[in-house]
Chains A and B, each alone.
Chain A
Amino acid sequence: MTDLILAPNLNNTDDFYAALLAAYDGLDEGESHALNARLVLILANHIGDEGVLTQALDAAVMARSSPGQVAK
């Protein structure tokens, strides 16, 4: 089974983060939520691997329910 990558994996993290923020500029809360949802679905389809997606869901849920822990 392919493991979900949880170590740094972006070549240029700051560029990606800036692009992410830019995509949400000028959006109200509802529009932002809608963009989040579209982005999740696009990325999920690109990943395709159900095992990786399950790990990603688990990681996202865990990170909220356990503040302070650093996911490795």
Chain B
Amino acid sequence: MVAVRYQTAFRLYPYEKSADQEAAQPVRHPVVIVGGGPVGMAMALDLGKRGIACLVLDDHDGVGMGSRAICFAKRTLEICDRLGCGDPMVDKGVVWNTGRVYRDEREVYSFDLLPEGGHRRPAFINLQQPYFEQFLVAEIRRLQAAGAPIEIRGQNPVTGVRQQADHVVLDVDTPDGPYRVEADYLVACDGANSPIRTMMGLDFEGRVFEDNFLIADIRMMADFPVERRFWFDPPFNRGETALLHKQPDDVWRLDFQLGWNIDRKAELAPERIRDRVSAMIGAGVDFELVWTSIYTFRCCTMETYRHGQVLFAGDSAHQVSPFGARGANGGIQDADNLGWKLAAALNGEAPDALLDSYHTERKQAALENIKNSSRSADFLTPRNPAHALFRDAVLDLVEHFDFARPMVNSGRLSVPCIYDGSPLNGPDALGGGPARSRPGAPCSDAPVRDGFLLDRLTGRFAVLAINAAVPESLSIEGQPLDVIPLSAEDDATGALAHRYLGEAPCAVYLIRPDQHVVGRWPAFDPARIEAAFSQATGKV
């Protein structure tokens, strides 16, 4: 019996009986991914592109209803570009760069998310989560047709997990009854209430915030600007906050803060929601309710993201408040970090210990996301009268003085973590090199001739040379690297030089498959590159 927890928006992987179900002995797979949400599918896509056989087990047969995550950050789009599905997302998505903050009926300030040019992708797009997942699955289907070893099994909930010394045994239920599979590595992408985590008896601790928020996604043909608009204490939601955001298909996300002691059922009554919406957008505006939901939130993390052969990614490992769009975006970066490491370990190109760095780096990122997301929540949901006093003082001041703008916190929007102090980082030997491109940092995009720099980073280790001599091709320990010889003149705007040279006249960077910097030097020295490569693959 396979229970249905939610309705699906798109039925993408209907149940089909697999040969594994008839096998006399459980079949062993290199990687089993549990959970076919955005993180699990990105994980499968990354591994499949690397030729690593992976099996996705999902307890449903498609993408869940409801727009849910709607803001996808530039770093996520860059990762999806590398995975091959950035274009359909950006084509479908709504690009926005401007945010406006209101108090009562007055605009108190506005901001531009990406004042810096020279990036292929915008700071954010808004896109309903089902579309995001659909584009990932479409790319998986395209790769499968070309022979990539990815398999998705719908209506295959995992009901038991046992860890052995070098593999994991999974009990799986299906409409045709239970069966077993084995995995060299299991990646649990099964969400904030992770059944895998629960079955393994693992911790998940943090803070619960005492507040409720109502989401009303509506369809309307209104001429509102494509901006993120945020209200403190608006006339239509006194004493609370509200948010208005555009999505594709003429859908708008309305988010109303409700407070802690509410009658959940009464608030979810369609008539009650309609009244709220009309008060916000104007009584004369026609609209249709597309999706409604009341959410509470918590900021939690597991102590450790790796438990033997089991790795936790996305919400199963860490959960944040929605403010700042750090949930799905953080999860996609987990997959980006883990994909190349799992492939290297399974191909015998790196020791298993490389996978320990997945925990180190992504826990660092999760703590950063939790810190930012908790601070936003503290601003929006003051925990005591003094906190409310300062929040109101900031809002009083910001109407008169610019200094208070940075204190207003309606969400610190997702930016990727710089893995300072990571055991994989090599030396920073580039005198005068810009801090933003130091070891551990994700590469900033920059225009290069008629394209962009990140398009040249294809998912292998890469050597980027600017104004410096490098060999035409390069292999280390039998593995070919991408060699990208550039000159500062390849970018007439100067962004490439600004982002990678700084004060230095020339530079050589070693870059990881996930586009994070390993190390940098003023000139190419094969011995130093090889030493840094060893460091970055967990051999030192």
Residues of A near any B CB (own CB < 8 A): 33-34, 36-38, 40-42, 45
A37 and B404 within 8 A (CB): no
Query: A38–B396 contact, CB under 8 A?
Result: yes
> Is chain A's interface secondary structure helix, strand, loop, or mixed overall?
helix
With a CB–CB cut-off of 8 A, which chain B residues contact A38? 393, 396-397
Complex Cα distance, B390 from A37, in Å, reads 6
- A20–chain B nearest beta-carbon distance, Å: 17
B383-405 interface bits toward A, Cβ cutoff 8 Å, 1 = contact, 0 = none: 00000011011101100010110
**Complex CA distance for A41 and B397, rounded to whole angstroms:** 9
Closest to A35 in B: B393
Q: Which residues of B contact A36 (CB under 8 A)?
A: 389
Q: Is the CB of A42 within 8 A of B397?
A: yes
Interface residues of B in 362-396 (CB under 8 A from A): 389-390, 392-394, 396
Chain A nearest Cβ from B102, distance in angstroms: 20
Rounded to whole angstroms, the CA-CA distance of A36 and B396 in the bound complex is 12
9 CB < 8 A contacts A-B: A34-B389, A34-B392, A36-B389, A38-B393, A38-B396, A38-B397, A41-B404, A41-B407, A45-B403
Q: How far is the CA of A33 from the CA of B396 in the complex (A)?
A: 13
Residue pair B407, A37 in contact (C-beta under 8 Å): no
How far is it, in angstroms, between the C-alpha of A25 and the C-alpha of B491 when the chains are bound?
62
Contacts of B396 in A (CB 8 A): 34, 38
Known A37-B390, A41-B397; further 6 A-B contacts with Cβ < 8 A: A34-B392, A36-B389, A37-B389, A41-B390, A41-B394, A42-B397
The closest CB in chain A to the CB of B390 belongs to: A37
* Pairs of residues from A and B, 5 with the lowest C-beta to C-beta distance, nearest first: A37-B393, A45-B403, A38-B393, A37-B389, A37-B390
User: For residue A41, which residues in chain B have a CB less than 8 angstroms away from its CB?
Assistant: 390, 393-394, 397, 404, 407
> Is the CB–CB distance between B403 and A34 below 8 Å?
no
Nearest Cβ distance between residue A62 and chain B, in whole angstroms? 18
Query: Could you tell me the distance between the alpha carbons of A34 and B396 in the complex, rounded to whole angstroms?
Result: 9
* Chain B binding surface, main DSSP class: helix
B397 touches A33 (CB 8 A): no
Closest CB-CB distance, A71 to chain B, in whole Å?
Answer: 22
**Could you tell me the distance between the alpha carbons of A42 and B394 in the complex, rounded to whole angstroms?**
10
Q: Which residues of A contact B390 (CB under 8 A)?
A: 37, 40-41
CB B387 to nearest CB in A, in angstroms, measures: 10
Partner of A37, one of B392, B401, B403: B392
Interface centre among A34, A36, A38, A40, by most chain B C-beta atoms within 10 angstroms, is A38
B482 to chain A, nearest CB (A): 41
CB distance from A14 to the nearest CB of B (A): 27
Residue of A nearest to B394 (CB): A41
A33-B394 in contact (CB<8A): no
Q: Which residue of A lies closest to B392 (CB)?
A: A34
Contacting residues, chain B, for A33 (C-beta < 8 A): 389
A52 and B129 CA atoms in complex are apart in Å by 45
Q: How far is the CA of A36 from the CA of B392 in the complex (A)?
A: 12
B393 to A, closest residue via Cβ: A37
CA distance A45 to B394 in the complex (A): 12
Q: In the bound complex, what is the Cα–Cα distance between A2 and B389 (angstroms)? A: 29
Q: How far is the CB of B466 from chain A (nearest CB, A)?
A: 35
Residues of A contacting B393 with CB < 8 Å?
A: 34, 37-38, 40-41
Smallest CB–CB gap between A3 and chain B, Å?
24
Beta-carbon nearest neighbor of B391 in chain A:
A37
Residues of B within 8 A of A42 (CB): 397, 401, 403
Question: Which residues, 398 to 435 on B, are CB-close (under 8 Å) to A?
Answer: 401, 403-404, 407
Q: In the bound complex, how far is the Cα of B389 from the Cα of A33, in angstroms? A: 7
Inside 8 A of B404's CB, which chain A residues have their CB? 41, 45
CB distance from B227 to the nearest CB of A (A): 27
List of B residues within 8 angstroms of A40 by Cβ: 390, 393
The interface residues of chain A lying within 8 Å CB-to-CB of B401 are 42
- In the complex, what distance in Å separates the CA atom of A21 from the CA atom of B446? 56
**Residue ID in chain B nearest A33 by CB atoms:** B389
CA distance A42 to B401 in the complex (A): 9
Complex CA gap A41/B390 in Å reads: 8
CA distance A37 to B407 in the complex (A): 13
What residue of chain B has the Cβ atom nearest to residue A37's Cβ? Answer: B393
